[in-house]
Amino acid sequence: MSIKGNLSLPELAAKYHIKNIYGAYLAFFTSKEGGLSDLRMVDDRISCYEFQLIKKGVAHIHTGGQQYELHEGDLLALTPYQSVSCYFPPDVQSDGLLVEQNFYESIVASCFDTDTTLFNLPTCSNCVYHLDEGRMEEFVMLLRQLRFAISRSHINKVNIIRSLMNVFLLTVSELPYEERLVTRDFKHKEDLLKLFFFLAKRNFKKEHQIQFYADKLSITTTYLSRVARELTGNSINHHLTKMIFEESCNLLRSTDMTIGEIADHLYFNDPSAFTNFFKLHSKTSPREYRKRHL
């Protein structure tokens, strides 16, 4: 593939008549957008992240000296300016996202509260994910929700899109760890910490104690604590507390749940325990926080 220049997200949308676009930040497209099966078949280098979920057919790509064959249920994740040769036959059907680089990085910074190298985010050498049936259905639903959010006018459109992108990228980051959690294949301390964050993102609302996560990983609490401090500089309790506090703030800002309902949702013993926790970390009460942010 020859290189002629760079195509920004708005330029791509205009050139290939992509209808579902959110400013200069995000666009949803299908495999037949602009009459081409894949936007990487153009002679320009694309300056944004690209995700494509194969829904039907078999596609082929060549990147980084590797050949990949993509089948139904495979997710392709390409980085900005990644040189890729693609062959998508006419019968291939896929849904995809284009994500502007700065917007992508702001989402990553908001949903990963530690070193992002600990997570399985797309790279030039890590660009194809094989999904089982359940995961494919999950991504189909997420892409459908993003398309709907992009195409509709809504007073909270920005927050809705950012929240959906948070979920999308968190889900991508989880993909390789489910099987390894079952096999307990911990080759490095980094792998162990990745699996802790994978478990924590799914369970922090209910499970607030390190013992739960150590048991799931079949290690001692002492070793898990030591790994966390060594690699992040913070304790396991710090990471769990931060997740709970940030979720508390989100619920107070974006929902009409009562303080008692939020306390139940986050598995505090009672509303007063939640209120004391919130005051400790924000120096204000939940009601005062909500009033200030409404």
Average pLDDT estimate for 160-167: 88
pLDDT for position 132: 83
Tell me if 193 sits within 8 A of 227, measured CB to CB.
yes
User: pLDDT at position 113, please?
Assistant: 55
pTM over 0.85: no
pLDDT digits (tens, 9 = 90+) for 89-119: 888 899 999 999 999 988 888 766 555 444 5
Question: Quick one: average pLDDT of 229-256?
Answer: 91
Instruction: Using pLDDT thresholds of 50, 70 and 90, give the confidence band for residue 1.
Output: very low
- Looking at per-residue confidence, does 113 or 13 come out higher? 13
- Residue 8, CB half-sphere, CA atoms under 13 Å: how many? 7
pLDDT tens digit sequence for 27-65 = 999 887 655 555 555 445 678 899 999 999 999 888 888
What is the per-residue pLDDT for 3?
A: 43
Phi, psi (deg, nearest 5) at residue 93: -120, 130
> What is the structure's pLDDT at 272?
94
Q: Tokens 């992040």, residue?
A: 232
Q: What is the pLDDT of residue 176?
A: 64
Find the angle CA(120)-CA(122)-CA(128) to the nearest 5 degrees: 100
Bridge pairing between strands 6-7 and 45-46? parallel
- Give the three-state DSSP class for 1: coil
Residues forming a β-bridge with 191? none
Instruction: Kindly provide the residue ranges of all beta strands, DSSP E only, lying in 114-248, ordered along the sequence.
Output: 128-130
Indicate whether 269 pLDDT > 80. yes
- Average predicted confidence (pLDDT) for the chain: 83
DSSP string, 114-127: S-GGGS---BTTB-
